[in-house]
A and B are shown apart, each in its own frame.
Chain A
Amino acid sequence: MSARGLRWIIPLAVVPVLILLGYAFKLNPREVPSPLIGKPATKFSLKTFDGNQISLEGLRGKVVLVNFWASWCYPACYEEAPALERGWQAFKDRGLVVIGINIQDKDEPARKFLTEFGHSFPNAPDPAGRVSVDYGVYGVPETFFIDRAGNVRYKHVGAVTDAIFKEQAERLLGERS
């Protein structure tokens, strides 16, 4: 390369930095590896909005998806709400349970949210915030996938999509308990 040609190294010097920054889009800084993965899920027992009692222990042998949400959390909670209902409808007969846990919310808007999206899976408020603390919930929505043996296997931060729901549900349902 001639000396005149070498000058074009100046602008090219910024390229590696740009590539690094571009690569960063593929990462998610909020996706902090949860220390709960692979560990037994903390037990909880809550009273649902319908007045029934639901406990994690009673669901041993099923794949459980625990979704933490709030009515003020948009857009993410509003985006994932239909996907959760669709997933529940598709997989409930194969041994999967979806549990919604409503945190840091008021009763009335939370119920309105459930009616609006026609959620038919069990949903319970977490009045003292204990369950969300036990699960280390950082922000809503966060979703935990628990296998048939009661171990947390996957944590999803942000809105759950149909694809993620299906992928994790198929994987955990495919395992023998």
Chain B
Amino acid sequence: MIPELGYAATVAALALALFGCIAAAVGASTERHALVVSSERAAIGVWLLVTACMLLLVYAFLTFDFSVRYVASNTNRGTPFYYRITALWGSLEGSIILWTWMLSLYTLIVVGQYRRRQPKFYPWVLAVMLAVAGFFLLVMTIPAPPFDRLTPVPADGRGLNPLLEDSGMITHPVALYLGFTGFTVPFAFAMAALIIGRTGDEWITITRRWTIVAWYFLSLGLLIGGWWSYHVLGWGGYWAWDPVENAAFMPWLTGTAFLHSVMIQERRHMLKLWNLTLIILTFGLTLFGTFLTRSGIIGSVHAFTQGSVGQFFLGFLALGMLGAFSLLAWRLDRLRAHSELDSVLSRESAFLLNNLFLVAAAFTVFFGTVFPLISEAVKGVKVSVGAPFFNLVNIPIFLSLLFLMGIGPAIAWRRASAENLKRNFLMPVAAGVVAAAVLRLLGVANTVVLVCLALVVFVTGTIVLDFYRASRARRRTGDSWLEATWGLLHRQNRRYGGFVIHLGILVIAVGVAGSQAWSVQTETSLERGQSMELAGYHIRFDGLEPSDESNHFKVTGAFTVSNGRRASAMLYPAKKFYPQEQTPIAAVDYRLGLIEDLYLVLGDFAQDGSHATIKVQVNRMVSWLWIGGLILTLGAALAILPEWKKPA
């Protein structure tokens, strides 16, 4: 019964979305308001029906309804309660439901916010968003039906992919999808702007906050993905340039470019064409990401099962991109800039360079990701493009971006005078140079790390200087330091929110540089009672303990670790054996610290517990990534606060 209800809800939602899309478009072009109203009811209906689908599937999971193929594939009777709920998005079909649900939720918010405020844009925004939702509902109806029946009904299910039994499983996909789907809103406004011919700055002003929200969730999703990879996958890293990581990173890069270039349009009315192109590309790349994960065209740890889903996505991607760029071509005459670049030494050109680098990074990542396809198509040779390529190309780009992060916000608009440059950059540059010299004397020999840290100091210097001057100015009016600081954050929340986000990125940059340069690891086999040493840590192997868990068998190793500075502690890395998996899954144990993490992975062992192989890593500065993520959160929250208005 449940599956039939779910399927019916899906089909009904699809019909409503299509109807709503057409009604909104017809209503807008013929100015029949009643049609727009009924389209908005359709949008509400879509949200209700997709919510119902989600709840029905959760119910099927909780009651172990193995007659539903998706439930049987992603749970078994041993799956813990908590993961039976998150198993909802553990695989292809359910992840599409989650995606559709978020999109329908965003549509609902758009209805609530803009129904009255933006009568011209609103119907077309609704039409575009419902069209996108309609596509995802079509995927749920034909190539990836989550409520598909399974006969004969198996006695037990296969079980969730063990790597997904982790708390990161709740937050990582949710944040990532909120980011991906969030970019649909600015995209829909951009399309509406092109359709109605109001290609000025309105759509950018309206969607500014939406872009920040989507960008923030995407950033958060990427960081949580890194954390998940770090503490679950057991290879000690957080980023591998895996095709699907790249797929999520590309819209982040173009989205970041968009976030910055809209500021030039708002201020100087330039780059209209460029901004539209960026948002179309960003939206296209979110679709491309989903396509890549679900089409099975590229082998990846993240790849979902295959099927005809890929063809549907490619079709929609083609339709969306051709449609959007055709609209752009049609309105090309209206996209001329109202002003021109005055000088190379100006904020505009710093932002333009920033855009150039971000788009170049996105392009290289794209190229590296699809290169295996090109190679096979052209030369028939299977190749894989790995970290060396991506690092080689992207490190100079990211260092340049760090540099521009210091320049952009502090340099004057239009034309920077020598006075402006001296006032804003002399001290920070000096600080960066001094920092580099000191670090070099302290023994930092790696040039990339040295340059990176010097740039971080330089950029931090520009931010501190700006904040110091602004709050000093406020203090002259009689505010205390606290009032002055609060006043700045509060009244110029957009500018200072941006600065806080920059600080978060700087902290992340330190984490990346430090962890790449200074981490050490070793792998060794220990007899019971034997010790080893790495980077000042003594690690003693105390024995193995087997145990039967609800859905797997587990062998846990006990290790006593100590170093001179911290009290000794026990770490318990383990290996988990799931009946449905070929290879055992490592369960890492670690001690996190601000400067370094001690990270143990259990390798092979003797069944009697007499000896075991252990991989020991001392990973430096990795925690800075997670701290940077928290700072990013604060900054984003600050930046989306409503603009402070002076009391009338």
> Does A106 reach chain B (CB closer than 8 Å)?
yes
CB pair B325–A10 under 8 Å, yes or no, is: yes
Question: CB-CB contacts of A25-59 with B at 8 A, as 1s and 0s?
Answer: 10111101100000000000000000000000000
- Pick from B73, B284, B329, B373: contact of A27, CB below 8 A: B373
User: Given the known A-B contacts A11-B326, A29-B297, A33-B382, are A20 and B579 also in contact in the complex, defined by CB atoms under 8 Å?
Assistant: no
Main secondary structure of the interface of A (DSSP, over half): loop
Interface string of B338-379 (1 = CB under 8 A from A): 000000000000000000000000000000001011101100
Asked if A24 and B297 sit within 8 Å, CB to CB, the answer is: yes
B334 smallest CB distance to A (angstroms): 12
Q: Does B332 contact A (CB under 8 A)?
A: yes
Assess whether B376 is in contact with A11, with CB atoms less than 8 Å apart. no
Contact A11 B325, beta carbon cutoff 8 Å: yes
Judged by a CB distance under 8 angstroms, whether B580 is at the interface is yes
Inter-chain contacts of A74 with B (CB < 8 A): 73, 150, 158
Complex Cα distance, B375 from A24, in Å, reads 11
The verdict on B534 contacting chain A, using a C-beta distance below 8 Å, is: no
Does B3 lie at the interface of the complex (its beta carbon under 8 Å from any beta carbon of A)?
Answer: no
Name B158's contact: one of A8, A15, A72, A139 (CB within 8 Å).
A72
Contact residues in A for B372 (Cβ distance below 8 Å): 29
Residues in A neighbouring B376, C-beta threshold 8 A: 27
Chain B residues contacting A28 (CB-CB under 8 Å) are: 296
**Which positions 145-162 of chain A face chain B at CB distance < 8 Å?**
none
- Of chain B, the residue at the smallest CB distance from A105 is B579
We find that the number of chain A residues with CB closer than 8 angstroms to chain B is 34
Contact A29 B296 (CB under 8 A): yes
Q: Is A21 an interface residue (CB 8 A)?
A: yes
B314:A22 contact, CB within 8 angstroms: yes
Contact (Cβ within 8 A) A14 B298: no
Q: Which residues in chain B, 214-267, are within 8 Å of chain A measured between CB atoms?
A: none
B406 sits at the interface (CB 8 A): no
User: Is the C-beta of B311 less than 8 angstroms from some C-beta in chain A?
Assistant: yes
B317 near A: Cβ within 8 Å?
A: yes
* A14-B580 CB under 8 A given contacts A25-B297, A27-B376, A32-B382: no
Q: Hey, which chain A residues are within 8 Å of B150, CB to CB? A: 74
B310 within 8 A of A: yes
Contact A104 B581 (CB under 8 A): yes
Q: Is B322 an interface residue (CB 8 A)?
A: yes
B297 touches A18 (CB 8 A): no
Q: Does B396 contact A (CB under 8 A)?
A: no
A10 adjacent to B582 (CB under 8 Å): no
Given contacts A25-B310, A72-B579, contact A20 B374 (CB under 8 A): yes
B-chain residues with CB within 8 Å of residue A70 when the two chains form the complex? 580
Q: Is the CB of B377 within 8 A of A104?
A: no
List the A side residues contacting B73 at CB < 8 Å: 74
Asked whether, in the complex, the Cβ of A137 is within 8 Å of the Cβ of B582, the reply is: yes
Q: Are B373 and A24 in contact, with the CB atoms below 8 A?
A: yes
CB neighbours of B296 from chain A (8 A): 28-29
- Chain B residues with CB under 8 Å of A104's CB are 579-582
Q: A21-B297, A24-B295, A29-B298 are in contact. Are A14 and B322 (CB under 8 A)?
A: yes
Q: Which of A21, A23, A137 has the most CB of B within 10 A?
A: A21
Tell me if A171 is interfacial: C-beta within 8 Å of chain B: no
- Report the minimum CB–CB distance from A111 to chain B (whole Å): 13
Residue in B159, B325, B376 whose Cβ sees the most chain A Cβ within 10 Å: B325
Residues of B within 8 A of A17 (CB): 370
Q: What's the minimum C-beta distance from A68 to chain B, rounded to whole angstroms?
A: 10
Contact with A along B258-294 (1 / 0, CB 8 A): 0000000000000000000000000010000001000
| In the complex, chain A residues whose CB is within 8 Å of the CB of B291 | 21
Instruction: Give the docked Cα–Cα distance between A104 and B583 (Å).
Output: 9
A106 to B76, CA, bound (A): 15
Contacting residue for B325 out of A14, A20, A25, A138, CB 8 A? A14
Query: Given that A23-B377, A25-B297, A29-B296 are contacting pairs, would A18 and B579 also be in contact in the complex, using a CB cutoff of 8 Å?
Result: no
B332 A7 Cβ-Cβ under 8 A? yes
Q: Does A163 contact B (CB under 8 A)?
A: no
Say yes or no for A1: interface residue by CB 8 A criterion.
no
Do A13 and B582 touch (CB < 8 A)? no
B283 to chain A, nearest CB (A): 13
* Also in contact, A30 and B299, with CB within 8 A (given A10-B328, A11-B322, A18-B317): yes
Query: Across the two chains, which residue of chain A brings its CB closest to B330?
Result: A7
B470 at the interface (CB under 8 A from A): no
Cα separation A106 to B155 with both chains bound (whole Å): 14
Q: Which residue of A lies closest to B300 (CB)?
A: A29
In the complex, what residue of chain A is closest to B156 when comparing beta carbons?
A: A109
Indicate whether A13 sits within 8 Å of B314 (C-beta atoms), given known contacts A24-B373, A72-B579, A104-B579: no
Q: Mark B503-515, 1 if CB is under 8 A from A, else 0.
A: 0000000000000
Within the complex, what minimum Cβ distance (angstroms) separates A106 from chain B? 6
Contact A8/B373 with A24-B297, A104-B582 known, Cβ cut-off 8 Å: no
29 pairs, A vs B, C-beta closer than 8 Å:
A7-B329, A7-B332, A10-B326, A11-B329, A13-B325, A14-B322, A18-B317, A20-B373, A21-B317, A21-B370, A21-B373, A22-B314, A23-B373, A23-B377, A24-B297, A25-B295, A25-B297, A27-B376, A29-B297, A29-B298, A29-B299, A33-B382, A74-B150, A103-B582, A104-B581, A104-B582, A105-B579, A116-B152, A132-B582
6 A-B pairs with the lowest CB-CB distances in the bound complex, closest first: A29-B299, A11-B325, A24-B297, A7-B329, A11-B326, A14-B321
